[in-house]
A and B are shown apart, each in its own frame.
Chain A
Amino acid sequence: MKLAIKLAFRNLIGAGLRTWLNVIVLSFSFVIIIWLKGVMSGWDQQAKTDMTNWEIGGGQYWHEAYDPYDPFTFSDSHSPIPGEFRSEIEKGDMEPYLISQGTIYPQGRIQSIMIKGINPKQSIFMLPAHKLDTVMTDAIPSIIGSLMARNLKAGIGDRVTIQWRDNQGTFDAAEILITEIFTVSVPAVDQGQVYIPLDRLQSMMGLEGEATILTYRNSETPVVDVPGWTHRPKEVLTAQVDEMIKMKTTGQSVLYAVLLLLAMLAIFDTQVLSIFRRQKEIGTYVALGYTRRQVVGLFTVEGAMYAVFAALLSAAYGLPFLAWQAKAGWTMPVDASDFGMAIAQTLYPVYSAGLVVSTVLLVLLVTTVVSYWPSRRIAKMNPTEALRGKIQ
């Protein structure tokens, strides 16, 4: 066996360009298998990524009365921001939201909305909250999502009347001025939502210093038990999406299998050809006293060695590439022409160390099998004919 490995190594190196072509192609398939699988998982994870970036951050504390599915709870779900969180909020690692129910009147139509007070200087969410940071006396600066904008038939710079009831139930109304429209794939952040500066909403509601939801940036933030507030860790908030992802993972395995077949094809062709081309060599081996099993072994080892070389080569450029991709993501501009606004979505490939290791092992296994398979023909060869190169 040791000899076989040595010999296989020499044969491959000796073949020069042809070997490297194969190795390069195979190493490409390594990286592409892992990367594409990662991208597809990333697509499944996208809902979660977007939720994190736009809605839930690293996790949240909810006022105990708050129920996102029952807008009627909003009027009771607020209380002063607990002192425990002061330092985090000052650092910008936690952001309070105040939520209130209201009504908007676009062109005399009537529509219920959720008015969300948000800190214009926040950096946890991807919401363009900085656009709220303007001084305006005759209207409330506000940002809305593109779906909402379409519903309202309103654009940047438009004014719309909103109506709400303060914490005593007294009606109040004012105009909002839309300072920015954003596009997001999380409907909960867009549909029926109007964002205005937090302090403005607090004073409108008569709820200075109060909030409904506190969102923290880092999911590893230690949990604090605060009376009146319920901690909602990220995994609870994304439970539904996680369930969906779990389901879809099965579907991913089909994709993975197809990608593996790609690698298989790459090596299969090489092996069949090399056996055909190297008949004389095989004949020589047999003439030299190699058993047929040893010859088959040699060719199998050669095939597997392609995979080893390819794995090494892939590691050299693939690992940095994959790591960079996971961090930077893959951004595709999509022309969301239905609203005439181009949006860019970034997919973050998701791959685990397990995926990398198992892919390498699987490809190695597949290559070995695929190399062995055509090599069996060797066993059937008549050595004299092989020596003369007469086998078709």
Chain B
Amino acid sequence: MKTILILILSTCFLITASAQDADNILNRVERNMSSDNRIFESSMIIHGNRVSRIITSRTYAVGDKQSFTEYLSPAREQGTKMLKLENQLWIYSPSTDRTIQISGHMLRQSLMGSDLSYEDMMDDRKITEIYDSKVVGTETIDGRNTWILELTAKVSDVAYHTRKMWIDTERYVPLREELFAKSGQLLKRTTLSEVNQIDGRWFPMKVVYKDVLKQGLGTEFIIISVKFNQSIPDHIFTKAALKQ
């Protein structure tokens, strides 16, 4: 009896301890991954039914709330710009000279045919604010030791009820993430790789998004170059900048 009680107590203690650990881990990841501002060039490889497309773009972002993206190639998308302010999104297309607001249910549409929706880019709440987390194990991925974190939503208005994250134990970079439905069904898997050190922080340069229910190769997102803590003029985050 006594031993059982001790066992239960220690398990409780362990869980609390690991919960704290998990939050700590996530905070460190947060510090590593996010920054006051950043400018990056990236290419997105979308594997379509017929062809794979590579779309390159340059993005200016301040915090999580403001971002401005200009598409550089291919020719058809060149000059298209996208502005996100809080939870609003505008797209400018040079061929039509129009600024169009994407709102409501349009946000659930796929972004340029990728496995990402506009909405996926819009949720800018801190992960520790909306999820309770705990460490549930460890695993080695590509020779890197990782903690496996299980995140369970603590607020109800969240897209994914549970998540699993594999965090590099040394670099505090997520190497894999899985998103689950309330029923526990796996919905999406993100794989992060090519972790480089930039301005003193570890940063994954390649991310692969995959909707696991759908066939296909998923969408690759590759950072070509990234700079942190730059001075970005405020006027970039205005609708007027879209037309320039």
Contacts and interface: CB of A to CB of B under 8 A. Distances in A.
Interface stretch (A29-37, A86-94, A164-172, A346-354): A164-172
B81 interface: no
Given A72-B104, A163-B187, A172 B161 contact: yes
A173 interface: yes
Contacts of A163: 181, 185, 187, 213
Interface string B105-122: 100000000000000000
B183 interface: yes
Interface in A150-183: 161, 163, 165-166, 168-174
B153 to A, nearest CB: 7
Contacts of A174: 181, 183, 185
A168 B156 CA distance: 6
Contacts of B179: 171
B interface, by DSSP: helix, strand, loop or mixed? loop
A272 B172 CA distance: 107
A166 B182 CA distance: 9
Interface string B82-111: 000000000000000000000011000000
A272 to B, nearest CB: 74
Given A72-B104, A72-B105, A163-B187, A171 B181 contact: yes
Contacts of A166: 182
Contact of A161 (B105, B157, B160, B185): B185
A301 B24 CA distance: 108
A107 B213 CA distance: 9
B179 to A, nearest CB: 8
Interface string B175-215: 00001011101010000000000000000000000000111
A170 B153 CA distance: 10
Contact of B214 (A110, A165, A168, A173): A110
A105 B214 contact: yes
B157 to A, nearest CB: 5
Nearest to A104: B213
A161 B159 contact: no
Contact of B213 (A110, A170, A172): A110
B137 to A, nearest CB: 24
Interface in B211-228: 213-216
A109 B215 contact: yes
A109 B214 CA distance: 6
Given A72-B105, A163-B181, A171 B215 contact: no
B181 A173 contact: yes
A172 B183 CA distance: 6
A173 B188 CA distance: 12
A108 interface: yes
Given A72-B104, A163-B181, A173 B213 contact: yes
Contacts of A170: 153, 156-161, 181-182
Interface residues of B, number: 19
A173 B185 contact: yes
Contacts of A109: 214-215
A166 B181 CA distance: 10
A172 B213 CA distance: 12
Nearest to A166: B182
B190 to A, nearest CB: 15
Contacts of A105: 213-214
B158 A168 contact: yes
A163 B187 CA distance: 9
A290 to B, nearest CB: 88
Interface string A85-120: 000000000000000000001011110000000000
A170 to B, nearest CB: 5
A360 to B, nearest CB: 60
A250 B153 CA distance: 63
Contact of B157 (A72, A108, A168, A172): A168
Contacts of A171: 159-161, 179, 181-182, 187
A152 B11 CA distance: 47
A169 to B, nearest CB: 6
Contacts of A72: 104-105
A386 B104 CA distance: 93
Contacts of B182: 166, 170-172
Interface in B153-174: 153, 156-161
A108 B213 contact: yes
Nearest to A161: B213
A169 B214 contact: no
A173 B213 CA distance: 10
A161 B186 CA distance: 11
Nearest to A170: B161
Interface of A: 72, 105, 107-110, 161, 163, 165-166, 168-174
24 contacts: A72-B104, A105-B214, A108-B214, A108-B215, A108-B216, A109-B215, A110-B213, A110-B214, A163-B185, A163-B187, A163-B213, A168-B156, A168-B158, A169-B158, A169-B159, A170-B153, A170-B160, A171-B181, A172-B161, A172-B181, A172-B185, A173-B185, A173-B187, A174-B181
Given A109-B214, A163-B187, A170-B159, 5 more contacts: A72-B104, A108-B216, A170-B160, A171-B160, A171-B161
